[in-house]
Amino acid sequence: MDLQDYRNQLDQIDDQLAALFKQRMETVRQVADYKKEHNAPVLNAGRERDILYRVTGECGEEFQEYTKILFSTLLELSRDYQENRLNTGESALCREIMAAAGASGQFPSRAVVACQGAEGAYSQMACTKMFALPQIMYFGRFDGVFRAVENGMCRYGILPIENSSAGSVTEVYDLMEKYNCKIVRSLKLKIEHCLLALPGVKLEDVKEVVAHEQSLNQCGEFLKSAGVKISVFSNNAAAAKYVAESGRTDLAAIASAGCAELYGLKILSDRVSNTDHNYTRFICISKNLEIYDGANKITFVASASHRPGALYSLIAKFATRGLNICKLESRPIPGKDFEFRFYFDVEASVHNPDTQTVLSQLEKEGFFTFLGAYSEVF
């Protein structure tokens, strides 16, 4: 036999598999209808375990792991199909989402916005890129931004959520769980850190550098080679202002070039980042669910049940529908040892019926919080 003969043989086998798969799913449909009539749960973990034990034994040791993967996928598809049969009708969450999508329209150009930091901070730069005419209120801490939005002082808040080199801003993730706010837009901002000092100061004079913790991490290689003391500030703009008011000739701040102009400082170096490819992703939050035209990304938090394969089952709901999970972030659940909640970013439109189906499933499973549907700008 040549290669084409083997391919012809595989085609025949695939045709048989397809016919058997269709037959299996038709039987699954009958099982789902029975379970609906008798109010029985979809998942029967003991039966699935018995099936995997039986079929892996039939296929022998050489194909045991491959068989397990194949039938685990089949069982996942069967559960998903049953859930769709049982969970008919639009969920309360989907009704809320579609109402927000229909009412919001275009993203506003002017608003009162809360930012962490001070004039010249990267959050302020992100804000002025998102809004043409913002009125900015500054707060010293991230939780101040959340409280301002939740209490109605500001309609929106701007917060950094992750950096391309330093990773996620874990405090913001934790605060997202604490406060009842939604994401309405995100922006990727190129970060160009500079080392700033008083006029007349030389690079070799600097003994201490002040900046936000994330910025210090993003410039770690430069700071290590310089052998300077580092001190953490609440934000870079405040650090630059502190340097300007200190009168010290041995002190410098890591901040933007805009802060140099704003606070009358000199740029000692504009190449202090670990990498030239340094971006921070900022999110814009609101108290209410607002979904604007062009929203193509959703974010939610879910807690997978404490059983083998639970996270895989959650991911598979999106994978089987061709919905791309572009970020998955785990955070520990306070008060529960070694249990985690998961933050998902998914490239999907809420107008997509597949997206609505998955969101309805997750809502009814009861360990899910929808955090927003939005577009990301650059």
**pLDDT tens-place string over residues 82-119:** 988 887 666 788 889 999 998 878 999 999 999 998 89
Average pLDDT (286-315) is: 86
- Long-range contacts made by residues 105-108, C-beta under 8 angstroms, separation at least 24? 105/292, 105/293, 106/292, 106/293, 107/184, 107/185, 107/292, 107/293, 107/375
How many other CB atoms sit within 10 Å of the CB of residue 119? 14
Distance between CA atoms of residues 331 and 304, nearest Å = 12
* pLDDT score, position 338: 67
Average pLDDT (246-265) is: 95
Least-confidence region, from 60-64, 177-181, 277-281, 312-316: 312-316
Burial tier of 306 (Cβ tally within 10 Å: 0-12, 13-18, 19+):
exposed
156 SS3 class = strand
* pLDDT score, position 142: 94
Q: Are residues 186 and 326 in contact, defined by beta-carbon separation less than 8 angstroms?
A: no
Task: Give me the residue label for tokens 């301002």.
Answer: 148
* Predicted confidence (pLDDT) per residue in 176-216, tens digit: 888 989 999 999 999 999 999 999 999 999 999 999 998 99
Distance between CA atoms of residues 120 and 163, nearest Å = 18
* pLDDT score, position 45: 85
Query: Per-residue pLDDT for 306 more than 80?
Result: no
Distance between CA atoms of residues 329 and 290, nearest Å = 23
- In 166-309, where does DSSP find H-type helix? 170-178, 213-218, 220-226, 236-246, 257-263
Query: Per-residue pLDDT for 27 more than 70?
Result: yes
Query: Domains in the chain and their CATH numbers?
Result: 3-86 (1.20.59.10), 92-190+279-377 (3.40.190.10), 194-269 (3.40.190.10)
* pLDDT score, position 234: 86
Average pLDDT (310-325) is: 86
Query: Per-residue pLDDT for 357 more than 70?
Result: yes
Q: Quote the mean pLDDT of the chain.
A: 91
Higher pLDDT, 365 or 106: 106
Return the amino acid letter for 73: T
